[in-house]
Amino acid sequence: MQFWEHQKIFFSFYRTCTKEVCQNYSLTQMEFDILMFLANNPQFDTAAEIVRIRKLTKSHVSVAVNSLIQRNLLKPFHTDNNHKTVHLRLLPAARDIIQSGRQAQEQFRDQLFQGFSEEELQLFRDMTDRILHNASQKEDSHL
């Protein structure tokens, strides 16, 4: 399973593709990742969901979210019927970061999948979905 042994190469390449955005906007990689996660997954808008889905450390997410709130890039809010859960909303000040971040993510994707046919990409998506499903089932059964 050489693919899994080299997964850090993908993370390193992603950081390389997003480094300029982080530098231009004085963001840590964690802050950038949280902004992009919220932009790309608006249905998951709490720190707890970010931790759960991205498998990140609670304390790192908390520090980054607080920093983004202080920088007026995120706004915490409660829903009418639930004052325990804090939801996160991207603010207009994050718009340029999100746009630049999406361009960096597209560059990453385009370079990573250069030379793949549409059929190969769909097969890869299908296989990845199955692998994630299998891993999630196994992870849940061990908890």
pLDDT digits (tens, 9 = 90+) for 96-136: 999 999 999 999 999 999 999 999 999 999 999 999 899 88
Q: Are residues 89 and 130 in the same domain?
A: no
Q: Which structural domain range is residue 102 located in?
A: 2-112
Residue 25 shares a structural domain with residue 56? yes
Q: Convert the pLDDT of each residue in 75-85 to its tens digit.
A: 999 987 878 88
> Dihedral (C-alpha) 127, 133, 135, 138: value to the nearest 10 degrees?
-140
Same domain, 11 and 37: yes
Statement to judge: residues 81 and 29 lie in one domain:
yes
pLDDT of 44 over the 70 cut: yes
Q: What is the mean pLDDT of the chain?
A: 92
Same domain, 88 and 141: no
Question: Looking at residue 34, which CATH number applies to its domain?
Answer: 1.10.10.10
